[in-house]
Amino acid sequence: MSKNKTIFITGAAGFIGFHLTKRMLNEGYKIIGYDNLNSYYDINLKNKRLEILNQKADIDNVQWEFINSDLENFNSLKEIFKQHKIDLVINLAAQAGVRYSLNNPNKYISSNIQGFLNILECCREYGPNKLIFASSSSVYGDNKKSPFSEIDKTDKPKNIYGVTKKTNELMAYSYNNLFKIRAIGLRFFTVYGPWGRPDMAPMIFVKNILEGKPIKIFNHGEMSRDFTFIDDVIEVMSRIIELNFNKSQIINEKYCNEYPDLINIGFGSPTRLNNFIEIIEKKLSLIAKKEYVEMPPGDIKETYADASYLKNLVGNYSYCSLEEGIESLIKWYKDFYKY
């Protein structure tokens, strides 16, 4: 790894962006972080993440710069690309949340589509031709075939969030075809762990159980998720980044030239929601007050990754067990929120 490489990471104050930025600083890369610090969830959590990144940069004497701005601000993005020689763009910024998209679709179109277009245009005009971007398991919709493979059809996403992520994949394909921008899309599967988003189920469950409040269990618990621990996500992302720097191109042979390179970031171990809650109860030594409800519009009954392509790319790696991951999440939560 060459320490003179500069990586531009959008969404650097977000959950995955924070962990990845910290890892890349530790690896010695120069990082330019970009985030609008919106109020979709607790801004104090985002500011604390940034505080940790600033402290790490100072202590380790590594190059780190943060810009507070929107992806939709094309002029802001252009100035960054003009002023810096960027070697790799990692776009993790997006308006997240499936249920939030039901009532706020415009935010998803402006941030996830217009914002991504601005990133692509900057890569086209100023370089680099290397781009890694966040997609989502939501592109698979309510696929009846499991596990979900990168070669499955993804033309029927069930919600606007999934639609925007599928659109990103098609946009990346177009820019790769027209302008030779090498794009790698990462389809994340239910990432959880310390510093996670407070609007996601693992955080909500831990919070409400600790506070003795009921937790809503959608579809009466008859749902499954491929829960993916954040440390594992960052490890495989780090390996993909190294591959992207060290090889001329990562190619999914099954796709040939039909799509951009797309990689499931999940590990093929779906867990039923009721079982997930049972592990949290065990680790907390508390019993949850459960409120069983119907599945809301746009939600998906099961997500389950075919991880064969990912494992072929990144090699052998010992993934964190669900019990270990939940224990780590709970420890961080209690420390951070003073329980």
Report the distance separating Cα 158 and Cα 99, nearest Å: 11
- Helix boundaries (H) for the chain: 15-27, 43-60, 74-83, 100-103, 105-108, 115-126, 160-179, 201-211, 230-246, 273-284, 308-314, 322-336
Contact between 335 and 289 under an 8 Å Cβ cutoff? The reply is no
Whether 161 is catalytic is: yes
Report the distance separating Cα 191 and Cα 134, nearest Å: 12
Catalytic residue among 161, 175, 259, 319: 161
In order, the DSSP letters of 57-121 are: HHHHT--EEEEE--TT-HHHHHHHHHHS--SEEEE------TTHHHH-HHHHIIIIIIHHHHHHH
Of 194, 209, 224, residue with least CA distance to 325: 194
Report the distance separating Cα 291 and Cα 22, nearest Å: 38
Report the distance separating Cα 185 and Cα 136, nearest Å: 9
Would you state the structure tokens that stand for residue 239, as one six-digit string?
């390996």
Give the count of beta carbons closer than 10 Å to the beta carbon of residue 139: 26
User: What amino acid positions are annotated as catalytic residues?
Assistant: 161
